[in-house]
Chains A and B, each alone.
Chain A
Amino acid sequence: MNTKTPDHPFLVQGQTGPWEVVIGLEIHAQITSASKLFSEAPTDFGADPNANVSFVDAAFPGMLPVLNAHCVDQAIKTGLGLNAEINLFSVFDRKNYFYADLPLGYQISQFHHPIVGRGSLEIQLPDHAPRTIGITRIHLEQDAGKSIHDQHPQKSHIDLNRSGVGLMEIVTEPDLRSAEEAMAFMRYLRGLLRYLGTCDGNMEQGSLRADVNVSLRRPGEAFGTRAETKNVNSIRFIGQAIAYEIQRQMAILESGGTVDQETRLFDPSKGETRTMRSKEDAHDYRYFPDPDLPPLVISQDHVDRLREALPELPQEKKQRFIRDFGLSTYDADLLTMDRDVADFYENALKVMDTVNAQTGKMLANWMMGDFFAALNRDGLAIKDSPVTPQHLAKLVQLITNDVISGKIAKDVFGFMWESKHDPEEIVKEKGLAQMVDPDALKPIIQEILQANLDKVAEYQSGKEKLFGFFVGLAMKATQGKANPALLNQILKEMLKGQ
């Protein structure tokens, strides 16, 4: 196996030698909560402009923030899921800057004392050893509103529906070494957040987005200057942005130039990053503790209670799947990364008569094969699948109980997908059950052999390759329903006896 660890980093070959890519992410994850971080306005996506805005969110004079306890718990749970230190004392600071969609003129965030400290997340790329990526911190902060630039040639419109929605900013160490790793990290993190129920991970709606820091260095040397690409909102775009940055920075460095420490934007239509026209570096955020909000003090008891109530997380589940259902590491990873997928798999196993390495593996293969292909083809989320876990389990059992062959099962699956019907009923209705009665098969085979006496003679004179020819004719005659093992056995006997 080709292992790549930080000691043997993934290197990019330039014209002047190898470069090591260093990537850190700052992920903004929208907290799953009914109301905003500091106000009672709802967080629903897609409301009419300024319909979900309280006077607090619009920073009216005299309005004050009051912290949402659930958002605090969500951040703690996320920290626990990332094996991180929970800081029992944390403080909200104001980050001061002027911007159109920032009504207060500051963002309430946590700068000096974040709620969550150091943690880690294990990731694994196919054919690579697992890697542990360091988490620097998680802090709570408010989202800004939205500026809309396409309504008027000279004006921007401001919608404050998102203003004040709770975010967790999850900051990684600069531990990632390739676009693939960064993308994998995002998939693992997204899966974990969805397990925890702390963020829905919906990247299209902006619930999860990342600032991507990329720099290059010669292997073994100190970190190079990094450029930060802001607000990238899909895993694919994160990959593209990193790939583009690697090429851009390498071209600069190899021609003897230096990379500017700057903020860039990703243009999805071109797959490129570009310098932000508004100058971020002119900022001086003047952080200071928000005098409207006393320090946030959490008891260890409360943290312990939240820890006890955590669901089984992907890593544990993965180990259990490997142990109990005979899955490979790769399959177990694929089935546990997303909670809905894992739940589907386990719900299916629950209704099976026998759960063992054979049935567990076969169910996994069906899910990762025809089932995922159908979901992808129709663009459906697993929750919206027309095939239920119970039905998929029955289909697998029809195979393991020799009622239908694997080949017929593919057809049955197609019918299930179209009709949402029970596979047993489909098999019964369409008469797809295998022929398992030798007395029913024998006359059909007899007829085939009679009609092909020349081939029988050839077979008997040693041309054993012709066996498949007879199997094909028998399958055709039975519309594929002949039990393959039984068919083979009877055919062999009858060919001998001719």
Chain B
Amino acid sequence: MTKSNDLTRLSLADAKKGLQSKDFTVKELTQAHLDAMKEKKDLNAFVLETPELALEQAAASQKKYDAGTQGPLEGLPIANKDLYCTKGIRTTACSKILASFIPPYESTVSQNLLDAGVVTLGKLNMDEFAMGSANMNSYFGPVINPWTDKEGTKSYVPGGSSGGSAAAVSAHMALAATASDTGGSIRQPASFCGLVGIKPTYGLCSRYGMIAFASSLDQAGPLTRTVEDAAMMLEAMAGHDPKDATSLNIPKPQYTQNLGGSIKGKRVGLPKEYYLKEMHPDILKKWDEAKAWLLDAGAELVDVSLPHTSYALPAYYIIAPAEASSNLARYDGVRYGFRRDADSLDALYEQTRSEGFGDEVKRRILIGTYVLSAGYYDAYYRKAGRLRRLIAQDFEKVFHECDVLLSATTPTPAFAFGEKPKDPISMYMNDVLTVPANIAGLPGISVPVGLSETGLPLGLQLVGPALSEALLFDVSLVLEKASNFLSMAQEKGNKR
């Protein structure tokens, strides 16, 4: 193994230590990742690479280390999901309709990371407008999961919509990545790619400059290889933003300094509705193992019930498309992006949008338009809003009985290309365990805990009450430590 490869194996936290103690330079660290990006181009994780910018940032970061004025994430190479508008750098949401868009502004989350000192490697592939669960809906083509089974013959999906982010971090092309989660788009790819992914409380990270899919559900969050890294990233990304009226006005969170608190006496809820018939047996096994680990750490286990759970996914598939149908109306070929000219304005709109959007995006726009249209609003959108309140109330009640909920992140491990039925509803079922947290605006984290019989990563999900991220990190650390996932995976896992 070359030195360059060693550097990409570091966690965010260890890389920072190495830079601080001058074991290596920011340039060396950055170059190692740029080399890895070249080497693993076939995964199609990046849709835009910015090596020159990265090296410029690296030089500036090195000066800060030399002067002792480094920021909390100084010189650490990361990459942004192509949903975050980056000033002067093409941002597309992986849609043809934005394929040439260069934002004249920076998103708050990516700006917060720049302010913390990161080096940015480029923009990451994703499902078009974050709509998808396999990263098969990108204008720039699918992303391939760095993991494969023991035989190593098949190609697997990385999950979605943050498939590029997950593949890049999992394949050691970036130390960490930004992602976003509307119905599971951070946690599901984390689970498929053996990563830690946290969707924080709605409103913790600003949505300013993050291209909207469904405004009341979208939340920014990181994908990392360790729990500590997730805490470091989220700490930098979060913070009140007066430019977002849905941003929570609370002091900037401090996760890293208190990380690793005891979970003794914490009550871990086991929601009975999250045991699904279609659940993969390997996942059920891991879930049981995790219970034992938590008991060992001094936690209590409580059986709980969230009676409206099964309505979360259908409610989601009304609310999210409804908001999306309106959010995506601005892509009309007039002020930016793709345009197909025509001799009337309406024809221009129709042709631009028909050609500019992919099938899944069009499908969701049409569903959203339908459920909001005259005569159907009450039966669909308003009904879904009422269910949303019932689901949120379920969580409120259950958090009197327990402190966090433990479940699987997804019903199955990653699936191979071509092995999933193509009908939309089967694909939507991927999000069945992750969607409730979005519906209620609660924080959820996926932690890798082991491999399936076939050798694919498996993740478990923790969901807590609003602003319980610190507790989620502490419980996650217990799972991370007990599962010993990283060393185990290095030994037994099969990566491309």
A and B in contact, CB less than 8 Å? yes
Query: What CA separation (Å) do A55 and B242 show in the bound complex?
Result: 15
The docked-state distance in angstroms from the alpha carbon of A287 to that of B349 is 21
Question: Are A66 and B322 in touch, CB under 8 angstroms?
Answer: no
Q: Is B140 an interface residue (CB 8 A)?
A: no
Collect the chain A residues with CB atoms within 8 Å of residue B216's CB: 291
**Chain A residue with minimal CB distance to B382?**
A288
The smallest C-beta distance from A66 to any residue of chain B, in angstroms, reads 5
Q: Mark A2-17, 1 if CB is under 8 A from B, else 0.
A: 0000000000000000
Nearest A-chain residue to B370, judged by Cβ? A286
A106–B323 Cα distance when bound, in Å, is 12
Q: How far is the CA of A156 from the CA of B381 in the complex (A)?
A: 36
How near does chain A come to B465, taking the closest CB pair, in angstroms?
Answer: 20
Q: How far is the CB of B178 from chain A (nearest CB, A)?
A: 13
Q: How many angstroms between the C-alpha atoms of A474 and B84 in the bound complex?
A: 92
Structural contact, B98 and A294, CB atoms closer than 8 A: no
Contact B381 A67, beta carbon cutoff 8 Å: no
Which residues of B have CB within 8 Å of A287?
Answer: 372, 377
CB-defined interface of B304-348 with A at 8 Å, one 1/0 digit per residue?
Answer: 000000000000000000110110111010111000000001100
Q: Assess whether B246 is in contact with A292, with CB atoms less than 8 Å apart.
A: yes
Decide: B91 and A286 in contact? CB cutoff 8 A.
no
Residues of B with C-beta under 8 A to A457:
none
Q: Are A294 and B245 in contact (CB under 8 A)?
A: yes
Does B215 lie at the interface of the complex (its beta carbon under 8 Å from any beta carbon of A)?
yes
Contacts of B243 in A (CB 8 A): 64, 66
Known contacts: A96-B329, A103-B335. The answer to whether A62 contacts B85 by CB under 8 A is yes
8 Å CB interface, B344-386 against A: 345-346, 349, 369, 372-374, 377, 381
B244, CB-defined interface residue at 8 Å: yes
Q: Is A284 part of the binding interface, using a Cβ–Cβ cutoff of 8 Å?
A: yes
Asked if B210 CB lies within 8 Å of chain A CBs, one says yes
A residues less than 8 Å from B208 (CB atoms): 62-64
Q: B104 contacts which chain A residues (CB < 8 A)? A: 55, 60
Please report the C-alpha to C-alpha distance between residue A65 and residue B207 in the assembled complex, in whole angstroms: 11
- B212: Cβ under 8 A from any A Cβ: yes
User: Which residue of chain A is the closest to B91 with respect to CB atoms?
Assistant: A61
When the two chains form their complex, are residues A55 and B215 in contact, meaning their CB atoms are under 8 A apart?
Answer: no
With A and B bound together, what is the CA distance between A292 and B212 in angstroms?
A: 10
Q: Say yes or no: B377 contacts A286, CB within 8 Å.
A: yes
Q: Which residues of A sit under 8 angstroms from B329, Cβ to Cβ?
A: 96, 98, 104-106
Q: How far is the CA of A96 from the CA of B372 in the complex (A)?
A: 10
Chain A residues lying within 8 Å of B332, measured Cβ to Cβ, are 98, 105
Q: Is the CB of A62 within 8 A of B330?
A: no
**Interface presence of B214 (CB below 8 A):** yes
Contacts A61-B85, A62-B207, A105-B326; A292 near B105 (Cβ below 8 A): no
The answer to whether A291 touches B103, judged by C-beta atoms less than 8 angstroms apart, is: no
Instruction: Report chain B residues within 8 Å CB of A66.
Output: 242-245
**Alpha-carbon gap, A64 to B105, bound state (A):** 13
The answer on a CB contact under 8 Å between B245 and A288 is no
A67 contacts across to B, CB distance below 8 A: 245
When chains A and B are docked, how far (Å) is the Cα of A149 from the Cα of B281? 66
Question: Is B377's CB under 8 angstroms from A288's CB?
Answer: yes
List chain A residues, Cβ under 8 A from B101.
Answer: 61
Q: Which residues of B contact A286 (CB under 8 A)?
A: 325-326, 369, 372-374, 377
A60 to B332, CA, bound (A): 11
Q: How many residues of A contact B (CB 8 A)?
A: 29
Q: Is B189's beta carbon under 8 Å from chain A? A: no
A59 at the interface (CB under 8 A from B): yes
* A62 and B245 contact, CB distance less than 8 A: no
**Minimal Cβ-Cβ distance residue in A for B97:** A61
Contact A291 B214 (CB under 8 A): yes
Q: Complex: how many Å from CA A6 to CA B334?
A: 50
- Chain A residues within an 8 Å CB radius of B374: 284, 286
Q: State which residues 66-104 of A face B: CB under 8 Å.
A: 66-67, 94, 96, 98, 100, 103-104
Contact with B along A272-290 (1 / 0, CB 8 A): 0000000000001011100
- Near B by CB (< 8 A), chain A positions 426-479 give none
Q: How far is the CB of B310 from chain A (nearest CB, A)?
A: 24
Is B283 positioned at the interface, with any CB of A under 8 Å from its CB?
Answer: no
Q: Find out whether the CB atom of A103 lies under 8 angstroms from the CB atom of B330.
A: yes
B381 and A294 form a contact (CB under 8 A): no
Contact B215 A94 (CB under 8 A): no
CB-defined contacts of B349 to chain A, threshold 8 Å: 98
User: Is there a chain A Cβ closer than 8 Å to B411's Cβ?
Assistant: no
Chain B 231-245 near chain A by CB (<8 Å), digits 1 or 0? 000000000001111
Contact call B330/A288, Cβ cutoff below 8 A = no
Contact of B326 among A60, A100, A106, A294 (CB under 8 A): A106
Instruction: Scan B80-121; emit 1 where CB is below 8 A from any A CB, else 0.
Output: 000011000001010000100101110100000000000000
- Is residue A58 contacting chain B, with contact meaning CB distance below 8 A? yes
Quote the shortest CB–CB distance from A370 to chain B (angstroms). Answer: 54
The closest CB in chain A to the CB of B105 belongs to: A55
Q: Is A243's CB within 8 Å of the partner chain B?
A: no
Q: Please state if B215 and A291 are interface contacts (CB–CB under 8 Å).
A: yes
Q: Which of B85, B107, B323, B372 makes the CB contact (< 8 A) with A291?
A: B323
Task: Tell whether A293 is near chain B: CB-to-CB under 8 Å.
Answer: yes
Q: Which residues of B sit under 8 angstroms from A103, Cβ to Cβ?
A: 330, 334-335
Q: A55-B104, A100-B345, A106-B329 are in contact. Are A60 and B336 (CB under 8 A)?
A: yes
Assembly CA distance A63 to B332 (angstroms): 16
A-chain residues with CB within 8 Å of residue B449 when the two chains form the complex = none
Complex-state Cα separation, A9 to B374, whole angstroms: 37
A132 to chain B, nearest CB (A): 34
Contact (Cβ within 8 A) A59 B335 = yes
Listed residue (B103, B104, B245) with the most chain A CB atoms within 10 angstroms of its CB: B245
CB-defined contacts of A341 to chain B, threshold 8 Å: none
A495 within 8 Å of B by Cβ? no
Shortest Cβ gap from A40 to chain B (Å): 10
Would you give the shortest CB distance from A297 to chain B, in whole angstroms? 13
- In the assembled complex, the Cα of A103 lies from the Cα of B333 at a distance in Å of 10
Q: Which residues of A contact B160 (CB under 8 A)?
A: none
B211 within 8 A of A: yes
User: Within 8 Å CB of B245, what residues of A?
Assistant: 64-67, 292-294
Shortest distance from the beta carbon of B98 to any chain A beta carbon, whole Å: 7
A158 within 8 A of B: yes
Of chain B, the residue at the smallest CB distance from A285 is B374
Asked whether B372 lies within 8 Å of A60 as measured between CB atoms, the reply is no
B residues 35-94 near A (Cβ < 8 Å) are 84-85, 91, 93
Interface membership of B209, Cβ < 8 A: yes
- The reply to whether A61 and B330 form a contact with Cβ atoms under 8 Å apart is yes
Q: Could you tell me the distance between the alpha carbons of A100 and B210 in the complex, rounded to whole angstroms?
A: 25
Q: Please indicate the chain B residues that have their CB under 8 angstroms from the CB of A65 in the complex.
A: 245
* B48 to A: closest C-beta gap in Å: 16
Q: Is B105 touching A96 in the complex (CB atoms < 8 A)?
A: no
A287, B107: Cα distance in complex, Å = 28
Contact check, B246 vs A94: say whether CB atoms are below 8 A apart. Answer: no
Contacts of B93 in A (CB 8 A): 61
- In the complex, chain B residues whose CB is within 8 Å of the CB of A98: 329, 332, 346, 349
Closest to A99 in B: B345
CA of A59 to CA of B332 in the docked complex: distance in angstroms?
11
Contacts of B209 in A (CB 8 A): 62-63
Q: A64-B244, A288-B372, A294-B246 are in contact. List 17 more A-B contacts (CB 8 A).
A: A55-B105, A59-B335, A61-B85, A61-B98, A61-B103, A61-B336, A62-B210, A63-B208, A64-B208, A94-B326, A96-B326, A98-B349, A103-B335, A105-B329, A288-B326, A288-B377, A292-B246
- Sample 22 A-B pairs with CB under 8 A, ordered by A number: A55-B105, A59-B330, A59-B335, A61-B330, A62-B207, A62-B210, A64-B207, A66-B243, A66-B244, A100-B334, A105-B328, A105-B330, A106-B326, A106-B329, A284-B374, A286-B326, A286-B373, A287-B377, A288-B322, A288-B381, A291-B216, A294-B245
Chain B positions near chain A (C-beta within 8 angstroms): 84-85, 91, 93, 98, 101, 103-105, 107, 207-212, 214-216, 242-246, 322-323, 325-326, 328-330, 332, 334-336, 345-346, 349, 369, 372-374, 377, 381
Chain A residues engaging chain B, CB cutoff 8 angstroms: 55, 58-67, 94, 96, 98, 100, 103-106, 156, 158, 284, 286-288, 291-294
Nearest first, the 4 closest Cβ-Cβ pairs linking A and B are: A105-B329, A286-B372, A291-B215, A291-B216
